[in-house]
Amino acid sequence: MSSEHQLSLFGESNLQASNFDKKELIPTDAKIPIPTGVYADIVELAQHCNQCHRCDLGNTRTHAVIGRGSLKAPIMVVGEAPGQNEDETGLPFVGRAGQLLEKILQSVKLNTEKDVYICNVNKCRPPNNRVPTNEEIEACKPYLLEQIRLVNPKIILLTGATAVKGLIGDKRGITKIRGTWMEWEGRLCMPIFHPSYLLRNPSREVGSPKWLMWQDIQAVRAKYDEIVNNEL
């Protein structure tokens, strides 16, 4: 792997270092893979993300947005990409969509300090909150895979079509697949509506997106309880 395609985190001297292709260097070309198991913890991963230029989103970010919640959470929520509030604070889902997400989780007594870890497919904000491109998703994917490895959740909730496509590659519309359990790499995944979509569709009528979300989050709670009971 050529050093020209890598960004040194700790100065030029490390380009000659023996651990050349490991933690000190980020491949700046998105086509160069970041191997599984590179990061010892989320702090190391976050340092890399904040120096990352594997795609052009690195040029316009204020902060890379890595995750929040419990680093040992049994449930991971994956969103699309940071918005303005998230870019400013460096924390995912802290705007209006995030507040709604918190309410949804709290409605079934899931606690973001204890039970849940929240992150996104893309760590940097796309300009004007556009949907990340396939190239941007692929460039960032190793970070998401490392987060999943490190947090090791049993259940992954994929909010919206981009999260589903970004992690498991399923390109079907979210309306078709929401609420269905899927297995990915030995983990249970459920596609759910993105909270922003619920903000645009506030009706609570039977069959509405909000009503469907209520069904889905109850199914998640029930599955989580089942897993915990089976482990006892």
Q: Shortest Cβ distance from residue 155 to ligand URA (Å)?
A: 18
- Is the Cβ–Cβ distance between 118 and 91 less than 8 Å? no
List phi, psi (to 5°) of 176: -70, -40
Query: Please, which contacts does 102-108 make with residues 24 or more away whose CB atoms are closer than 8 Å?
Result: 104/195, 104/213, 104/217, 105/77, 105/217, 107/214, 107/217, 108/217, 108/218, 108/220, 108/221
Query: What are the DSSP E strand ranges found in the chain?
Result: 6-8, 25-27, 67-69, 75-79, 116-120, 155-159, 182-184, 187-192
Q: Shortest Cβ distance from residue 170 to ligand URA (Å)?
A: 17
What is the β-pairing status of strands 116-120 and 75-79?
parallel
Of 24-32, 34-42, 79-87, 204-212, the segment contacting ligand URA by CB under 6 A is 79-87
In the complex with ligand URA, which residue's Cβ is closer, 24 or 136?
136
Residue nearest to ligand URA (CB): 79
Tell me which residues in 98-127 interact with ligand URA (CB under 6 A).
98, 120
Binding-site residue total for ligand URA (CB under 6 A)?
Answer: 12
Report the residue from 69, 77, 80, 224 that binds ligand URA according to the rule CB under 6 A: 80
Q: Shortest Cβ distance from residue 66 to ligand URA (Å)?
A: 11
Report the residue from 86, 87, 102, 136 that binds ligand URA according to the rule CB under 6 A: 86
The C-alpha atoms of residue 127 and residue 134 are separated, in whole angstroms, by: 15
Q: Shortest Cβ distance from residue 41 to ligand URA (Å)?
A: 21
Q: Is residue 209 near ligand URA by the rule CB under 6 A? A: no
Interface positions with ligand URA (CB under 6 A): 79-83, 86, 92-93, 95, 97-98, 120
